[in-house]
Structure formats: structure tokens, C-alpha cells
Amino acid sequence: MPDGADAIAPAAPRAAADRERFLTFALAAAELLVEVTPEGRIGFAAGAFQSRLGQPPESWLGRPVRELVALADRDAFDANFSLLLLRDRMPPTGFRLNDAAGTPVSIGGLRRPRPENRTICLSIAATPQWKSRPGLASAAEFHRSLEADGATGSLGLIEIEARPEAAAIIDEHLTEALPASSRAGVLSEGRYGVIGDGVEVGALGRTLEGLLQGAGHAASVNVTSLPLDAPGLTPMQATRALRYALSAFNRGGVAAVAEAGFGQGLGGFVAHAYTRAAGLRQAIAESRFRLVFQPIVDLGSGAVHHYEALIRPEASGEAPQDPQQFVLLAEALGLSAELDWAVLRSVCAAARLARDTRIAANISGQSLQSPGFRGALIAMLDTEPALVERLMLEVTETSEIENETEASRSVAALRVRGLPLCIDDFGAGAASFRYLRLLRVDYVKIDGAYVRHARRSEKDRAIIAAMVDLAHGLGAQVVAEHIETEEEAGLMRTLGVECGQGWHFGRPGPLPGRG
């Protein structure tokens, strides 16, 4: 066996000589070999795990294969692995290993050909000639990393007041200073987040302040650290609390995080938030919000395909006026289904008055798996069948679907009645691909982060093209969101995307065709 192969974990029975021969051939070209289930868990491991990752191969059995990859590269790995499930092969693709050095590696994969054994074989080889420094994650990318990989440790929040030209120093230090097991992201102007192992956010903040002041920038840095362990909270409650923390931070910095109740951790926030539950529930019941509508355009003809309804809350007592804060607080308090139903009623009222217009109403993954929500929706559609021609449901937060059986029942009932469905933020994590197969929707909306990066990133263009192929293969059309220029619209057309949404086509506003 070649140098660097520390040990071999147990494999399925096979002739010893053949087994050694095949492994030796494979390890001559790769340092790490893994066999992975379609769900992404390691069933066999061989190679230099001890020397590269500090743990023997057998310790990786049963673990998610994505944990082999540096935190900043896991979104891209998830997308490539999910596409491998469709295409049976992943060509050698560059990532960073989840070791202290963030070693550049090439990962290639092939699905085993026998129908009775559809596991995936991955080979991982170091590629010293490939150099790529991870950039700061976008806000959406950071949110996904936090929810997928932030179950332990702490969330570091860094608020920096400095001139815009100081951003280059901040970006360089945050991307260079952190180990591969950590990730930094820019959440909004002057506000950054850090997650991962071995990060002391106080020391990081002091270093940043010193670097900026040493470079002649009049800068001040304020930091806080939020423990991610949440005794007494379910994983879903913790996730929703974290979303609210990031929203509060973007809105008002470190002070707003403390005001929201996070000084006592995630559990403290939930306890604080429940004091606002009655006021928010009343605001939802009384529909203290208005709707605005943004067009989704056919990229071929330029005609409006449909509109998406977006909520705009009114100022009222304990209910936040900011749309994101309003929705996130409702989620944190378990009021998603109540809010979805109130919005859906308002969308239906608008649809009844609009001529030849279809409107997409957002519903959460929580509502999709709720038998009560399904029953009320089906009763409404059966009472007023004409609504089927004027509505579309856009499913948000598919990662919150825990009861796949109930979600599938809801989709089946809606499809029988001909109501179109769309998955929002497609590609935002591996769950999107699983739910596309499970839910069999009519449309998928590609996450805007891929659209923003596609013009300058060949990797993102390739991922979009593969997602389009996957969607089309399952009978769904594709919508690209966050299109801001004609150049971006043209690129999406060439990649096979049917519809586009973004300020290039129109900002949210009144719904045309009333009356």
C-alpha cells in the first residue's frame, strides 16, 4: 500500500488479493478513498485519514461526507454531490480539505453500476498546484453554513465602523486568519459573522481594529459572541432564533442583538420573544400588513409570467414593521402556518380582482407538512376552483420539512387539483435536491447567490447549468432570481433558464390588472 495510507476500515467481503490490488491502484492516485451512501454518509474509508485529518479511517464511518471538506466549500460540494446522484459521475473538482491547512484537493466520484448497490465511490487527491483562497461568504451563504454546520461552538458577530476603502483590509484578514474549519461572511455593510472551531472573536476584533488603525483608518470595532448550544430548544427553534439574531444584527448591530434578548443565549431570546406572542398573533389575525407584487418574466418573450406576493407589515404594537423581522419572529414563535394562511387569504383576494394574472404566495415548509393547513387549503380550492388558475404556491424553507410523508400528501392533493408549485432558493444546500425529487414541483427558483456570481465564476455557471438539467429532467421549469442587468438575464437564457425575477424587470409594487 502506498505511503500515507494509514489504515483501512472494514469493507464488504471480497477476495483479499483483489481487494489489496484495487486499493493500491486507487491510492496510487489518491490519498483518501470513501464509499458513500446516496444520503451522503460514509460507509467505507481508506487512506491517509490519520496524517491528513488526525483521525483514523474507521472514525469516519457513518459521518456525513461533506465534513471532509472545508466549511467554506460545503455549499459547492453539496451541489456537486447532488448532481452526481443524477448523472452517476462527478468529474475531478477542486475543493479544500477540512484540515488545519485547508489543503487544496481534487475530488472525483462515480456511482457503482450494480442496481442493487448504488453507493458512490469518491477519490480525494491533494493538488498542490491548485491555489484558491476562500473569499468571504455572502449573507445567504453564511446563513446556510450557520444552519448546516453551526450546531456547536459560537457565532461571532463583528460590527466595524470605518471608511469603505478599509473593506479590503477586513476581507483579507478574515479570509487569511481563519482555519479551514471556520468560515467568515459579510452580512451587510460593516457587519460580519464568523463560525467554526478555534475562533476567539474578541481577539479577532482587537486585531482587526489594530490593523485598520495602523493603516491610517479611523475605525472602531464592536463584537459579541453568541453560544450556539441551546439546552431546552429543539433544533428548529434554535435555527429560527439564529435567523432572528442575524436579522437583528443587520438592522442594528451588536446593540440590537442584546435588545432582542440574546444576552442570555438562544434560550433567552425565545423566552423574551414569547412576551410578544400575543401582539404578533393579533396582528396576523387582523392582517395588519399589505402586499406588494414583483413580476417574474418569461426570458424568451419578455412577457410577465406571474407575480410574487411580498408582505409589508404595518406598524402595530409588538409586531415588527420590517418584513424580514416580522416573518422571522412569526417563525420563532411557531406562528408560520397562521401567517401563511393570512397571507394566502390576502393573495386570493387580490387574485379574484386581477385579470389574467397568476400570483405566487409563499408558504413555509412547516405549513406544507401541516394536515390542518392542507385541509383548509384544499377546502378553499374545492369551494372556489377558479383560484387554481390564478394561484401558485412557492415553498420556502424546505429544510424545515421534517415530516416528508405529510409534505408529499399535501403536494399530491394540490397536483390533483392542478395548482402549480415552486421550490424557492433551489441549490441552497443539499436538501433542495432531495426535495425536488420528493415534491415533484412545477418550478424551481435558483438561489440568487448563484445568479450574482455566475457572470464571473465558471464554477457557478456550471452548477446553474447542471441544476437546470436536473430540473428539466424532473419536469420542472426554472426561475432565476436577483437578476439586476440585461447581461445577467442574457446569461440565464443561455444556461436554459425559462423565467427571471429581479429589479431589472421590475421592483415590487401594486398589482396591475385590478378590476
* Share in percent of the chain as helix, strand, coil (round to 5): 45, 25, 30
Q: Which residues contact 9 (CB under 8 A, 6 or more apart)?
A: 44, 45, 46, 56, 57, 58, 60, 61
Per-residue pLDDT at 68: 95
As a whole number of angstroms, the distance between CA 349 and CA 307 comes to 14
In angstroms, rounded to a whole number, what is the distance separating the alpha carbons of residues 12 and 266? Answer: 44
- Report how far residue 308's alpha carbon sits from residue 294's, in angstroms, rounded to the nearest whole number: 5
What is the pLDDT, as a whole number, of residue 14? 46
DSSP state of 319: B
d(CA 147, CA 297): 32
Q: What is the pLDDT, as a whole number, of residue 493?
A: 96
Query: Burial, 465: exposed, middle or buried (Cβ in 10 Å; 0-12, 13-18, 19+)?
Result: middle
DSSP codes, 451-501: HHHHTT-HHHHHHHHHHHHHHHHTT-EEEE----SHHHHHHHHHTT--EEE
Domains of the chain: 7-126 (3.30.450.20), 139-271 (3.30.70), 287-501 (3.20.20.450)
- Three-state secondary structure of 447-459: CHHHHHHHCCCHH
Q: What is the pLDDT of residue 386?
A: 92
Please give the Cα distance from 325 to 339 (Å, whole number): 13
pLDDT of residue 4: 47
Query: Across the strands, what pairs with 298?
Result: 499
β pairing state of 477-480 and 499-501: parallel
Return the pLDDT at 16: 53
Task: Give which of 136, 80, 138 is closest to 107, Cα–Cα.
Answer: 80
Structure confidence by residue, pLDDT tens digits, 120-164: 999 999 887 655 566 788 888 888 888 878 777 889 999 999 888
Chain CA centroid to CA 222, Å: 27
Sheet of 191-196, strands arranged across: 182-188, 191-196, 154-161, 220-227
- For residues 130 and 96, give the distance between their C-alpha atoms in angstroms, rounded to a whole number: 10
Closest CA to 93 of 73, 67, 121: 73
Cα-Cα-Cα-Cα dihedral sign, residues 49, 51, 56, 59: negative
Reading the block at residue 337, the C-alpha cell is 402556518
Q: Can you tell me which residue has the cell 461526507?
A: 65
Ranges of the chain whose pLDDT falls below 70: 1-29, 115-117, 129-134, 317-318, 398-399, 428-432, 513-515
User: pLDDT of 255-277, one tens digit each?
Assistant: 999 988 888 888 888 888 888 88
Are residues 302 and 294 in contact, defined by beta-carbon separation less than 8 angstroms? Answer: no
76, 27, 25, 89: which is closest to 52 by C-alpha? Answer: 27
CB 329 within 8 A of CB 367: no
What's the start-to-end Cα distance of the chain, in Å? 77
Q: Determine the pLDDT at residue 492.
A: 96
Which residue is it, cell 424551481? 444
pLDDT tens string 85-129:
777 888 888 899 999 888 899 999 988 877 666 789 999 998 876
The pLDDT assigned to 24 comes to: 60
339: left (phi over 0), alpha (psi -120 to 50) or beta: alpha
